[in-house]
Structure 1
Amino acid sequence: GGTLGILIPPSIILMIYGILTQTNIGDLFVAAVIPGILGLVMYLGVVYAIACISPQDAPRGERTTTAEKIRSLRGVWPFTLLFVVIIGGLYGRLFTATEAAGLGAGLALILSIAQRRMSWASFRQIFVETATTSVMLYSVLFGALLFAKLISFSGLGEGMLELVQDAGLGPYQTLAAILILFLLLGCVMESLAIILICVPLFLPILMSHGFDLVWFGIIVVVVTEIALITPPIGMNVFVLKAALPHVRLGAIFRGLFPFVGIDLLRLLLLVAFPSITLGLVAMMK
């Protein structure tokens, strides 16, 4: 489930992809909705199947009354309000991603003050952490844009295109080769690094074959999701191992196989039926 975080908006990975490829970020966010929901439903299906096959692996939780469920929702209404305003505004094209970020920050500040949870010390800490994160992200983005310019000026992208053309690969053969490379790199590299390095390199090839860049952006993120939980070095697996030191690493990898399989099926569906990704984008325009 943690892998869905890089796909479901607002996704930093999609924002950086949009900047690198000059693709509308709002379109990317809209395009991510159906693949994200599809992934969620498929994961739930796997969990339900495992629970039916091995009930001891998914014991029933304590029963709660309807009143208890309603009371538990009282503390989440500010987050729900933020989500509805930001994501609803983005999907409704009421404002851009940058405007949504500013509006979200302002609304969060107002809610914190209204609930009397904001002190001067926490206010200062928020500013320091925001500045630190912003500097880090802009530094990464600046380096990525420089790298993209370097590839453009050096002709490396065009060289890759000539190499593919000389090999006689068709559009979907080329796409398969690129996705396999992304899967392999994802086993040993962080997802953001893959996007920053590989997307500018393969952009001329994708454009020459007429692939939709919004569609490809979602495909890339889904492939990266799979790589994050794939042996031998699935980054998310080691994070989970650190949180659960008593569980053997091999047991975690074995438990992930059904989810990797269902993710590969989702990837095949998205490649075979681009309308799953692009249909909602077309409806919103």
Structure 2
Amino acid sequence: MSNIEIGYTGIAVLLVLIGLRIPIGPALIGVSFGGIWAMVGSKAAWGALGIIPWNFTATWQMSSVPMFLLMGFLCYHAGLTKGLFNAARLWLARLPGGMAIAAVFGASGFAAVTGSSVACAAAMGRIAVPEMMRQRYDAAFATGTVAAAGTIGALIPPSILLILYGIVAQVPVGKLFMGGVGAGLLTAFGYCVMIVIRARLNPALAPQVTERSSLSERMAALVEVWPVLLLMAGVMGGLFLGVFTPTEAGAAGAALALLIGVVKGSVSWAGLRDSVVETLQTTAALFIIAIGANMLTRFMAISGAGKDLAAIIDAMGAHPMLLLLGISLVYLVLGMFLEPIGAMLLTLPILLPVLTTAGIDLLWFGIILAKLLEIGMITPPVGLNVFVIKSVVGNLVSTGGIFRGILWFLVADLVVVVLLVLFPGIVLWLPGAMN
């Protein structure tokens, strides 16, 4: 077989392995290793297996991943985000579907210190769902709201998904963070509009809250969110003003989170230990997948399959928007079966040459990609956020009930994707304003 044929065969084998539920990291590494061996021999394959993991993980940019993870775990174990939902609840509860809107705002704030959809969904599920049930909200509506709101975690920075995309696609992570702000806020706004419309059309989904809170209670609740606001201002302000790089921002954010926890007296030695251990475990899992993606990139480069595919698409004369539509459909389908980081790192080595040839802005595409992958977190049959919420609420509602509660949020998500495509400025304005 020619090198290009070996490349396409490797892609086919990889898809079969994924279909057999082989973990994505080992599948990527195994196929890439075997493909390089078939093309240039065992010595080159073993050399790639020895050099690529080191060259990838030892880069300065990758140090931001464990630092941002540590920041998120410190915030969680120190309880720095506890006041978010309560403050949003007191200020927004009188609106139609106000408790659900409060969950969306709470998740948006939580996203700004974690960067993880699953963490957002789990935290808001424990806090917001019981409160909504106390107010007699429909169980499917309440759980669907929280599962969908968790997806904002991968859009509003810091986002681990955007960090890894930036490193693989060679796009400045700081600009990706700023682009994610617009997409994240638009998503939150879209969810809130949809909640209000549904609550007005069917008040039984979200009965009007009769409890009243005084101005002093609402102001006191705002005081409780100062840790998150300070952390957001420190990290995002420093990035936007160029005080530190995205890589340094992770370390600065982790240090600031620890300092705030110490000042509040809410961080313990046990919490600090758990934060470090969970950071190490999550980082190791992410790095294995990322190393496999880098090996696949090398395999595709040696085989020439990536460039060949790009040339075929270019020769077809496909309009960039038509190409983007096709890629979007691929990611929506992949998202139904794979977790976002795995789906992204599995496909980027193949798609990046195609996107570059088509002249598509990789910064803009990175935000759309993150949005598409997050839609996969709430689509059946493997909507991870849905199963996270199910594990939190137990027998309160069935898994099918949560998926039913998700449906209208999926409609809102698709509208957001269309708006991001039609109006690129939503993504590109803030990155263009950076120093």
Say whether the fold is shared (TM-score over 0.5): yes
1:133 shift after superposition: 3.2
Query: Is 1:199–2:348 an aligned residue pair?
Result: yes
Where does residue 275 of structure 1 map in the other structure?
Answer: 425
In structure 2, do the counterparts of structure 1 residues 78 and 184 end up closer, same or farther at CA, with 3 Å as the change threshold? Answer: same
The separation in 2 between residues aligned to 1:85 and 1:273, in whole angstroms, is 29
Contact 1:187 1:235 in 2 (8 A): no
Where does residue 37 of structure 1 map in the other structure?
Answer: 185
Per-residue CA distance 1:150-189 (angstroms, 9 max, x = gap): 2222212112213323544232222111111011000001
Per-residue CA distance 1:25-77 (angstroms, 9 max, x = gap): 01101111111111111110000011111112112332211111222234332
1:242 shift after superposition: 2.9
Query: Is 1:264–2:408 an aligned residue pair?
Result: no
1:101 shift after superposition: 1.1
**Letter of the 1:4 counterpart:** I
Query: Is 1:139–2:293 an aligned residue pair?
Result: no
Where does residue 163 of structure 1 map in the other structure?
Answer: 312
1:275 shift after superposition: 1.8
Where does residue 57 of structure 1 map in the other structure?
Answer: 205
Where does residue 400 of structure 2 map in the other structure?
Answer: 250
Q: Percent identity?
A: 39
In structure 2, do the counterparts of structure 1 residues 131 and 255 end up closer, same or farther at CA, with 3 Å as the change threshold? Answer: closer
Per-residue CA distance 1:116-153 (angstroms, 9 max, x = gap): 34444444443333333333333333332222222222
Where does residue 250 of structure 2 map in the other structure?
Answer: 101
Where does residue 47 of structure 1 map in the other structure?
Answer: 195
Where does residue 259 of structure 2 map in the other structure?
Answer: 110
Where does residue 7 of structure 1 map in the other structure?
Answer: 155
Query: Is 1:75–2:224 an aligned residue pair?
Result: yes
RMSD: 2.0
Larger RCO of the pair (alpha carbons < 8 Å, separation 6+): 1
In structure 2, do the counterparts of structure 1 residues 176 and 120 end up closer, same or farther at CA, with 3 Å as the change threshold? Answer: closer
The separation in 2 between residues aligned to 1:109 and 1:180, in whole angstroms, is 42
Query: Is 1:19–2:19 an aligned residue pair?
Result: no
1:255 shift after superposition: 2.5
Per-residue CA distance 1:179-202 (angstroms, 9 max, x = gap): 110110000010001110111210
TM-score in terms of structure 1 length: 0.92
Contact 2:179 2:364 in 1 (8 A): yes
**Letter of the 1:96 counterpart:** T
- The more displaced of 37-46 and 137-146 is 137-146
Where does residue 225 of structure 1 map in the other structure?
Answer: 374
**Letter of the 1:154 counterpart:** S
1:276 shift after superposition: 1.9
Where does residue 172 of structure 1 map in the other structure?
Answer: 321
**Letter of the 1:207 counterpart:** T
Query: Is 1:183–2:332 an aligned residue pair?
Result: yes
**Letter of the 1:257 counterpart:** L
In structure 2, do the counterparts of structure 1 residues 146 and 112 end up closer, same or farther at CA, with 3 Å as the change threshold? Answer: same
**Letter of the 1:23 counterpart:** V
The separation in 1 between residues aligned to 2:409 and 2:270, in whole angstroms, is 43
Query: Is 1:148–2:304 an aligned residue pair?
Result: no
**Letter of the 1:30 counterpart:** M
TM-score in terms of structure 2 length: 0.62
The separation in 2 between residues aligned to 1:250 and 1:120, in whole angstroms, is 41
